[in-house]
Amino acid sequence: MVKIKFQNVRKVYNGTDVVDNLNLEVATGKFTVLIGPSGCGKTTTLKMVNRLVDPSAGEIFIEGKNISDLNPVDLRRRIGYVIQQIGLFPNMTIAQNIEVVPRLLHWPKQKRLDRTAELLSMVGMDPQQFMNRYPSELSGGQQQRIGVLRALAVEPPILLMDEPFGALDPITRESLQDEIKKLQMKLGVTVLFVTHDMDEAIKLADMIVLMREGQVEQAASPEKLLSDPVSDFVQEFIGKKHLPTNYDVESVWEIMNPNAVTIAKTKGINESIALMNKRNVDSLIIVDENRKLEGIVSVEEIRAAGRQESRIRRIGDLGIRQVPTINIHSQARDAFDLIVNENPRFIVAVDDEDIVYGIVTKTSLVKALAGVVWGDETDV
Amino acid sequence: MSDLPIFLQRNWGTFVNALGTHLKLSFSAVAIGICIAVPTGILLTRFPKAAKKVLAGVGVLQTVPSMVMFGLAMPLLGIGIRTALVVLIIYSILPILRNTYTGISEIPEKYIIAARGMGMNGFQMLMRVELPLAGSVIISGIQLSAVYIISWTTIAALVGAGGLGDLIYTGIMTYNYSMILLGAAPASILAVLTSLLIGWLARIATPRGLRM
């Protein structure tokens, strides 16, 4: 069944085609993800569904009705809409925010109240505790949960989501992804979701629509997209990490994370802290001018040094300690043995001359195993 | 100065009369100013191109010294309370107009997108989102306007409108310092109190979610 249908849709801004002859069918009750590089027209496509943007040419149908014949205000009240910046009204309580559309539709008070309580319970937020709070009293993740509930308040058959989790931290994002997928399946709502994150698309989508320069490059299920990319562009966009891997995990070189955060031993303390913040790590690998391993330093050690008001200026003077290392040509199994048995935070991967190439962590281990599993599946 | 209380006692009737006129004049000017400036400010947000010109025009009007403005108004409107009121209203408009316009224009776009995307029409958006979010900025415009107008109302005495300005000018002309003080001090106190009162009203009228 087709919920939303785009027929030869074009949108021109300042002489450029942002959306160019788009033909697309979004299936009822499915989770469809629009993805592509920035400027590919995915957000414009989304906004044409609730007429925040009107097409320059072509038609859009919802359940067979041409939406240009519908009143945009009425149309929008029947389509849920979630935006990246969340946009909860700061002057309204959580309950008032959720009840915006029910109020616009003149629901009676008791019905609104019941619905709000029901929705909050659905995402595990205690209605008594949250209803009368204000958005500024909630974390970003909680706020976007409310943003989703607000969009679902009147049980709209369609939910539009414009990079809803893009501004959240990775852990919160993961849990909201899980929740939205659960909600979508439970409610059977048709979701059209914009993202630029392929991992997110693969995790959520029933169908991924990869867009390029205003057109559909490939529309397919995640499995199909990964196994049968129609072009180099798709292949490249999917990225190497998602490609089927048929090699056996062998050397440390293949499984290590090459993005180890290193710092020259002559750098200052403040610079080190800034680097840690920027790369979001809690330890740094100290190297000399040839990237030869000197040791590691953790954020605790830097803090301790700071507290003692010591005169340490250079990171290299700070208690360098020995770290577990492994040669990049060794077998990956040896690295994993080391991790499992000695439980270090990470192992530094070096060559014969102690030059740092990367690190091996528990995550590398899991990824390597996943790669093997993935490879087996796609080989069949 | 020590004879001020006695002076006040002796001229109590005159003083109360002047204070009453002063209050009436300045508060009607601000009230009418609000009725003109807030809707106009809202209207201007719908026409941003025209808004710049209108605000610039009103800004120029504001730079005309009040003495000059009263002088210009007198030949046209004659002497009396009506002339004073017209001039004061003109002065009360700009701060309120400008704050209404900027207050609404500077609401972060996300709230507007969210409101539109959920299906609010223009009026609903205004009442439920724009005015509440711009409220404190608009009220601070009113506060500013009220303080100005209360002090400028003293000048209105020049066109025969009465008020505390009357006491000041009479005092100046008769070298009666007590009388000058009897006009000037209440006018200043009135301005400060009004400012505090509006500030307090603004605070209790702000929803808890916007107070942090």
Residue A312's pLDDT is what?
Answer: 66
At A129, the pLDDT band (50, 70, 90 cuts) reads very high
- Name the CATH superfamily housing domain B4-210: MetI-like (1.10.3720.10)
Angle between helices B81-105 and B12-46 (to 10 degrees): 40
CB contact under 8 A, A89 and B119: no
CA separation for the pair B182, B41 (Å, rounded): 38
Task: Tell me B157's DSSP state.
Answer: G
Nearest-5° angle of CA A361, CA A367, CA A370? 150
CA atoms within 13 A on the CB side of B177: 4
Residue A372's pLDDT is what?
Answer: 64
What is the value of ipTM here, to two decimals?
0.83
CA separation for the pair B185, B189 (Å, rounded): 6
- Bridge partners, residue A193, by sequence: A33, A161
Alpha-carbon distance A39 to nearest alpha carbon in chain B (angstroms): 19
A104 CB neighbours in chain B (<8 A) are 118-120, 124
Decide: A252 and A335 in contact? Cβ < 8 Å.
yes
- pLDDT tens, residue by residue, A94-119: 999 999 999 999 999 999 999 999 99
* Tokens of residue A9, six digits: 């849709």
Cβ-Cβ contacts under 8 Å for B42 (sequence gap 6 or more):
B100, B104, B126, B130
Give me the residues of B, 86-115, that contact A with CB < 8 A. Answer: 108, 110-111, 113-115
pLDDT at B207 over 70: yes
Mutation to test the B interface, candidates A49, A91, A159, most B Cβ within 10 Å: A91
pLDDT at A248 over 60: no
Residue B120's pLDDT is what?
Answer: 96
Mean pLDDT of A166-178: 88
Task: Among A52, A88, A90, select the one facing B116 at the smallest CB separation.
Answer: A52
CB contact under 8 A, A91 and B207: yes
Residue A309's pLDDT is what?
Answer: 57
pLDDT at A377 over 50: no
Angle between helices B48-63 and B12-46 (to 10 degrees): 150
Residue A310's pLDDT is what?
Answer: 58
In the numeric block, the tokens 């979508």 are attached to A184
Nearest-5° angle of CA B116, CA B120, CA B121? 100
At B160, the pLDDT band (50, 70, 90 cuts) reads confident
CB contact under 8 A, A134 and B117: no
CA distances to A235, B86, B159 from B82, rounded to whole Å, are 78, 6, 9
Q: Provide the residue type at A127 as one letter.
A: P
CB contact under 8 A, B133 and A134: no
- Lowest mean pLDDT segment, chosen from A369-378, B59-68, B153-162: A369-378
Task: Among B117, B132, B209, select the one facing A76 at the smallest CB separation.
Answer: B117
Q: Provide the residue type at B183 as one letter.
A: G
Residue A244's pLDDT is what?
Answer: 45
Q: Is B161 helix (H, G, I), strand (E, B) or coil?
A: coil
Mean pLDDT of B94-112: 95
Decide: B56 and B67 in contact? Cβ < 8 Å.
no
Residue A11's pLDDT is what?
Answer: 94
A51 CB neighbours in chain B (<8 A) are none
Does B75 reach chain A within 8 Å, measured CB to CB?
no
